Amino acid sequence: MKIGVFVCHCGSNIAGTVDTAQVAEAARALPGVAFATDTMYACSEPGQEGIIDAVKENELDGVVVASCTPRMHEATFRRTVERAGLNRYMFEMANIREHVSWIGKDMESNTNKAADLVAMAVAKLRENRLLFPKKFDINKRVMIIGGGVAGIQAALDCAEGGLEVVLVEKTTTIGGKMAKLDKTFPTVDCSSCILGPKMVDVAQHPNITLYAAAEVDDVSGYVGNFKVAIRRKQTYVDWNLCTGCGLCMEKCPSKKTPDPFNEFVGTTTAINIPFPQAIPKKASINAETCIMLRKGKCGKCAEVCPTEAIRFDQKEEIAHEEVGAIVAATGYDLFDHSIYTEYGGGRIRDVITSMQYERMLSASGPTGGHVKRPSNGEEPKSVVFIQCVGSRDKSVNRPYCSGFCCMYTAKQTILTKDHIPDSQSYVFYMDIRSPGKNYDEFTRRAMEEYGARYIRGRVAQVYEKGDKLIVRGADTLTGTSIEVEADLVVLAVGAESTRGASALAEKLRISYDTYGFYMESHPKLKPVETNTAGVFLAGCCQGPKDIPSSVGQGSAAASKVLTLFSKDQLESDPQISQVDIKRCIGCGKCISTCPFGAIKEIDFRGQPKAEVIETVCQGCGICTSTCPQGAIQLQHFTDNQILAEVMSLCPPLLEKSFE
């Protein structure tokens, strides 16, 4: 085999602390190396042309580039060697930048280490084999998980782009958190007026299949060909018949049902349509409060339903869908403030969350848009807002900023003034974070035009005194302590990853950070991709975001899906396992360890043998290190290849002693 070695200077990035000429010199002495040189920028156009010319001139069979990390440019150089007429797997990279020149300054040790890494790469390359990707068809359907504004945007964009979309929403209606909001910042336009039409578009789009009250149960397969099992929860109403007339709600005698859509401000009926603009506008029964389901008698709803849609015996069902790509848009949940005992720990009735306040402000909310103190139903005149409840606080394991609370609090102070002109708002804040377009102007308006009083400092305690609340805190700008008498305290609760986020991530095989937010493939350059091909992210599942960013990411994810589907076929990665049928003893150990079920047992002349299902194997190599026979080998990372690297670093001692 004739190998060419190219040692990159990367300007002074590498050449500054590695003697690249000496590394090339050392490489020339390695067995198999027919050509070695140093080069200024291997990845630049002249650099790549230089490699191609050298391959052709010296009739090389393989190339080693010693430069940056393969995680950056392996794909680039594989294309280069392919252009030179070689198989793209006849290429290895030695990482002499991230792993050498950037982490040490000593020229001698760096040069020595770089030469070692090159020798390793050459040793491995000598064991490389030609590998050929296979083409496979893609199923141009996409599943979007989560029907909040990010998911809705992704669904509509994909559907408009001509794709068939499966939208899965866990609650009975799409709309997500945005549907609960009264107004949005910084325009103070009505949330449901801008979201509503989009929700209707989802319902009416011929390309969108909506599964509401459904959750993803299982995901298998790979990019282009995922198989998804969707669990459709029972709603006890036949949605094919339900017209959303709401007669059942009027007649239902169980009126004390907790109302999650209204953030448990007020109650609702056991059979319920969450809000007038719900999509789909279908009723569902809460089994915990339905008298019929609990005690076996009642059935009032069934009596009045004009289409006889009530099904008390409905069971949950599993639906199966096949898609080529998945967008996770599962959103966020709100921080549970009861952990903060100093704010009342959820005990004091007039201490509420910002989302509860939002529902009170909404004309279609439980109070008909009238702000009332939960304790006595009176209009509050003094409202205190406390910021960063569950944000930027290490003591509750939420060190991150939720990003949008400063803004929605400013909005709520404005709305408070609109609703109750003779009211006064106070805001306890840490810093005001308002970096969006027109955002800072907006917070200023809250202060200057609407007279909200901003107090920089943390609240130490909220307690009841008579029928008032006393909020005691520090004003860190004046260095004094301050007490404010309040009728209502609104906690700006932060965002956290949605419950069940990690379980879903494990099904999708994507990673998540310490707080359960999904990890993007690259924080700057691949913000909506994940490390699992064909799985994309949109909205707050990746981290707290406001509406414009969520919508932007929804569209970005959709464009990634459309790009992926712009080809009819994808290439499979040939770095997968292969069974040597002569060596395999059919013990089945690999079958039971493969996390993807990618190995099946076959009958070979009456004997059991293992066989890898090419399209399912992900190339982890767990089977290879399990097989007692060494019969199943992960291509490009075979035992021989890895041992060649080991031997290059640590030559066998006995051989050495007889040299």
Partner 1 sequence: MPPLAGKELRIVGFLCNWCSYGGADTAGVGRFAQPTDLRIIRVPCSGRIDPLFILRTFMNGADGVLVSGCHPRDCHYSEGNFYARRRLEILQRLMPYIGIEPERFAYTWVSASEGQRWQKVVQTFTNEVHAIGPIKPFGATPEQVEARLSKLLDSAGGKATEKQEVERVAS
614 binds ligand SF4 (CB under 6 A): no
Count of residues interacting with ligand SF4 (CB under 6 A): 29
Of 40-79, binders to partner 1 (CB under 8 A) are 69-72
Q: Which of 506, 567, 597, 607 binds partner 1 (CB under 8 A)?
A: 506
Show Cβ contacts of residue 448 under 8 Å, excluding neighbours closer than 6 positions.
Answer: none
Q: Which of 76, 207, 234, 626 binds partner 1 (CB under 8 A)?
A: 626
Of 529-568, binders to partner 1 (CB under 8 A) are 531-532
618 binds ligand SF4 (CB under 6 A): yes
**Cβ atoms of 554 and 149 closer than 8 Å:** yes
User: What H or E segment, with its residue span, contains residue 38?
Assistant: strand 33-39
Q: Is 403 left (phi over 0), alpha (psi -120 to 50) or beta?
A: left
Q: Which stretch binds ligand SF4 (CB under 6 A): 179-187, 222-230, 627-635, 647-655?
A: 627-635
In DSSP terms, 189 is beta-bridged to: 184
Q: Is 125 exposed, middle or buried (0-12, 13-18, 19+ CB in 10 A)?
A: buried
Show Cβ contacts of residue 480 under 8 Å, excluding neighbours closer than 6 positions.
Answer: 474
Q: Which stretch binds ligand SF4 (CB under 6 A): 79-87, 325-333, 530-538, 576-584?
A: 576-584
Which CB sits closer to ligand SF4, 295 or 582?
Answer: 582
Of 476-505, binders to partner 1 (CB under 8 A) are 502
635 binds ligand SF4 (CB under 6 A): no
621 binds partner 1 (CB under 8 A): yes
348 binds ligand SF4 (CB under 6 A): no
Show Cβ contacts of residue 474 under 8 Å, excluding neighbours closer than 6 positions.
Answer: 457, 458, 460, 480, 481, 482
Helices (H), 282-351: 291-295, 300-304
Of 380-439, binders to partner 1 (CB under 8 A) are none
Q: Which stretch binds partner 1 (CB under 8 A): 291-299, 390-398, 415-423, 508-516?
A: 508-516
138 binds ligand SF4 (CB under 6 A): no
First to last CA, the chain: 24
Q: Which stretch binds partner 1 (CB under 8 A): 92-100, 190-198, 474-482, 607-615?
A: 92-100
634 binds ligand SF4 (CB under 6 A): yes
585 binds ligand SF4 (CB under 6 A): yes
**Cβ atoms of 306 and 248 closer than 8 Å:** no
Which CB sits closer to ligand SF4, 618 or 648?
Answer: 618
Least distance (Å) from ligand SF4 to the CB of residue 127?
18
Q: What are phi and psi of 22, to 5 degrees?
A: -70, -35
In DSSP terms, 455 is beta-bridged to: 428
Tally the residues of the chain: 659
133 binds partner 1 (CB under 8 A): no
**Which of the choices ligand SF4, partner 1, none does residue 504 contact, using the CB cut-off of 5 to 8 A by kind?**
none
Q: How far is CA 646 from CA 431, 639, 640, 641, 658, in A?
A: 54, 10, 10, 9, 20
Count of residues interacting with partner 1 (CB under 8 A): 61
Q: Closest Cα partner for 340 from 455, 431, 460?
A: 460
639 binds partner 1 (CB under 8 A): yes
Cα–Cα distance, 63 to 576 (Å, whole number): 22
Residue type, 565: F
The HSE-up count of residue 45 (CA atoms within 13 Å, CB side) is 0
Which CB sits closer to ligand SF4, 331 or 574?
Answer: 574
Which CB sits closer to ligand SF4, 115 or 579?
Answer: 579
596 binds ligand SF4 (CB under 6 A): yes
120 binds partner 1 (CB under 8 A): yes
Of 439-478, binders to partner 1 (CB under 8 A) are none
Cα–Cα distance, 459 to 393 (Å, whole number): 13
Q: What are phi and psi of 424, to 5 degrees?
A: -130, 130
Q: Which stretch binds ligand SF4 (CB under 6 A): 260-268, 272-280, 392-400, 571-579?
A: 571-579
Least distance (Å) from ligand SF4 to the CB of residue 34?
33
Q: How far is CA 93 from CA 66, 70, 89, 178, in A?
A: 6, 6, 11, 48
Least distance (Å) from partner 1 to the CB of residue 590?
12
369 binds ligand SF4 (CB under 6 A): no
590 binds ligand SF4 (CB under 6 A): yes
Q: Which of 115, 270, 355, 612 binds partner 1 (CB under 8 A)?
A: 115
What is the 3 state secondary structure string of 536-598? EECHHHCCCCCHHHHHHHHHHHHHHHHHHCCCCEEECCCCCEEECCCCCCCCCHHHHHCCCCC
622 binds partner 1 (CB under 8 A): yes
Contacts with partner 1, residue ranges (CB under 8 A):
26, 69-72, 95, 97-100, 102-106, 108-110, 112-113, 115-117, 119-120, 502, 506, 509, 511-513, 531-532, 575, 593, 595-596, 618-622, 624-626, 634, 637, 639, 642-643, 645-647, 649-654, 657-658
Contacts with ligand SF4, residue ranges (CB under 6 A):
576-577, 579, 584-590, 594, 596, 598-599, 610, 612, 617-623, 626-627, 629, 631-632, 634
